[in-house]
Structure 1
Amino acid sequence: MKRLLAPATALLAIAAIALTGCSASAAGSGDDYPNRPINFSVGSEPGSGWDATARALVEVIEREDAVPVQVNVQNRPGAVGCVLLNDMINRHADADNEIAMTSVPLQSMELRGQCDVHYTDVTVIARLLIENFLVAVPADSEFQDLGALLDAIAADPQSVPIAASGDDQLPLALLVDAAGGNPSAINFIEFESGGEYLTALMNGDVVASVSGVTEYGAQIEAGELQGLAVLSEERLEAPLADIPTAVELGYDVTLNNWRGVYGPPNMPDYAVEYWQAKLQELLETPSWQEIADRNQWGTAYLAGDELQTFLDESYAQLQTALESVGAAG
């Protein structure tokens, strides 16, 4: 049974919120916006995909001298972004100087019953990119192909600990389901960041991990990890071109993650419009293209009505996928 989770361009993956902030009324009108530092929050630890994307954007802003005020990245981990979401809603409603990274957990945590925030409770500003999921193991792992890993999970799930949190669990759940196993029996070990995933892999605390390419690409290229499969429709580009797709291996599962930027509820229109235009401008710079190519990110900007359509379709498809593997709340 085909497990395709993507509305036209793709689906899935970073969330964030700010520690300080005033209301939009305190900041005045948008005539001279932005006129004070911007808090760019990330709902995870340093080293995560959300963190990498936020810091990449700030790097491009600084290279291009694109924003007239300081943009400060803040890490606000907790409950796969839910802590930050609630903070944005409860402490920063109406603010014009608070933005945050987001991705699929903005929708899926509510669908899982793990966060009471709906994606319409905040102001989603723009989608930036799409990133592919991959399944990785240490280079010297006993599991040298995806089939062997899935067979081991089917035979004795508890003996095969897998590092994956939140929506990073969904790709493997769909693969196990496609292989005839029981997704609800997978022994997932949850961590807050890709750095913790990597440490657990290298220490032998887990036997495999599922995450975005950003978090493991460098280690695979260096020969420390091995990619068993990517869940894209086509193979990645070099230096990761040797990793087969799940479809090639006989598992008709494609899944990817999207990342974007959101603001607080009732963010002033002038701030939303500023960041929509500024983010689109940044994604067209050579500085961004260099970073995107290095991380194998597929730039996929959306805003306005197109973004709303994407979010609504993604929400419905994500709900169907989570229900299919018994992960809906």
Structure 2
Amino acid sequence: MKKIVRSTLVTALLALSVSAATAAGPTRTECIAPAKPGGGFDLTCKLLQISLQETGQITSPMRVTYMPGGVGAVTYNAIIAQRPAEAGTLVAFSGGSLLNLSQGKFGRYSENNVRWLAAVGTDYGIVAVRKDAPWKNLSELMEAMKSDPTKVVVGAGASIGSQDWMKTALLAREAGIDPRKMRYVAFEGGGEPVTALLGNHIQVVSGDMSEMVPHLQGGKMRVLAVMSDQRLPGELATIPTAKEQGFNVEWPIIRGYYLGPKVSDDEYQWWEEAFKQLVTTETFQQQRDMRGLFEFNMFGGELDAYVKQQVADYREKAKSFGLAK
């Protein structure tokens, strides 16, 4: 009789545990890309949207919405102040988001005000030009900028002090160019500078490799350098690094997601486990590779510590350009 009671109790507890785990999953999901369509944040949300749907980890399709403004600042403030407890709402972030946080560009909020959830890939900074541009390598481009900085217009999806600006500023400093003399045009999101480049309104794009892959396949653009420690694999192996061309600049860019500060521990843990399972699937890995991202998986507390260390490191880089206190 005791065995039957014990067995019944265990069964009931297991059922309760399964029910609680199931209840922790959000019924409606949304990924916010804090920029206009077409850039890296859009890419990050679409990666999650498609992968979750194809692996069946959510019951209804995830919605992707766009909230441009301040290269992430508007979204960051909105999630914290207006939507802090929405368990189904994830926001895409990148290394650029962390750089902006390091400079105080998100207003009164810091890296301590959201719940850093998952990093699912890394990207690398690049410098690209039109296919018919006169510069065949990074040295030729930097020499042209050095001889007359006013004749080479660099465009990117963020303002002065952003990671796209910082990447070109570091290259300029390596080449003996005063970064303050660069002609730099800021756009909102990664799609707009590419359009401007193809329209010949600017001469150079400072961006991320993942954003460039579709355009490279179209044959209208050429990447002069990738800011990785070594050449990338596969078809991208033909692109030289900045380092091998004599410019000691690396710029990896993680891509991931955060949640609002009042999302409960149970809801947070549901997402953490979901991501840990998701990144092991062939579906996700194919989707990640299609977008030019490289493997970088980090979750929960480990990611939280990594983010805070990165913000501290970026703050020191920004200080060297007089952009942070």
Fold match, TM over 0.5? yes
Deviation at 1:114, TM superposition (A): 2.6
> Mean Cα displacement is larger for which, 299-308 or 270-279?
299-308
- The SS at the match of 1:300 is coil
Q: Deviations over 1:188-236 (max 9, x none)?
A: 1111122211110001111001111111112223321011000001112
TM-score (norm 1): 0.86
Q: Which runs of 5+ in 1 are unaligned?
A: 1-28
Aligned match of 1:19: none
Aligned match of 1:156: 148
Aligned counterpart for 2:294 among listed residues 280, 294, 298: 298
Cα distance between partner residues in 2 of 1:242 and 1:133: 16
Aligned match of 2:103: 112
Aligned match of 2:124: 132
Q: Deviations over 1:270-302 (max 9, x none)?
A: 111011111121111111111222233122111
Higher helix content, 1 or 2: 2
Deviation at 1:258, TM superposition (A): 0.7
Once the two structures are superposed, the pairs formed by residues 40-119 of structure 1 within 5 Å of their partners are 40-116=31-107, 117-119=109-111
Answering whether residue 189 of structure 2 is matched by residue 193 of structure 1, we say yes
Aligned match of 1:204: 200
Cα distance between partner residues in 2 of 1:272 and 1:106: 21
Cα distance between partner residues in 2 of 1:298 and 1:238: 11
Aligned match of 1:285: 281
Cα distance between partner residues in 2 of 1:97 and 1:149: 45
- The SS at the match of 1:135 is strand
Aligned match of 1:4: none
Q: Deviations over 1:26-48 (max 9, x none)?
A: xxx87613353112111011111
Aligned match of 1:263: 259
Deviation at 1:74, TM superposition (A): 0.7
RMSD of Structure 2 on Structure 1 (CA)? 1.7
Aligned match of 1:226: 222
Q: Deviations over 1:58-86 (max 9, x none)?
A: 11111111112432111111110100111
Q: Which runs of 5+ in 2 are unaligned?
A: 1-19
Task: Decide whether the 8 Å contact of 2:34 with 2:74 is kept in 1.
Answer: yes
Q: 1:160 to 1:121 in 2, by over 3 A?
A: same
Cα distance between partner residues in 1 of 2:95 and 2:119: 11
- The SS at the match of 1:168 is helix
Cα distance between partner residues in 2 of 1:119 and 1:217: 30
Query: Stretches of 4+ moved more than 3 A in 1?
Result: none
Cα distance between partner residues in 1 of 2:196 and 2:231: 27
Cα distance between partner residues in 2 of 1:73 and 1:243: 32
How many residues of Structure 1 are paired with residues of Structure 2 in the alignment?
Answer: 301
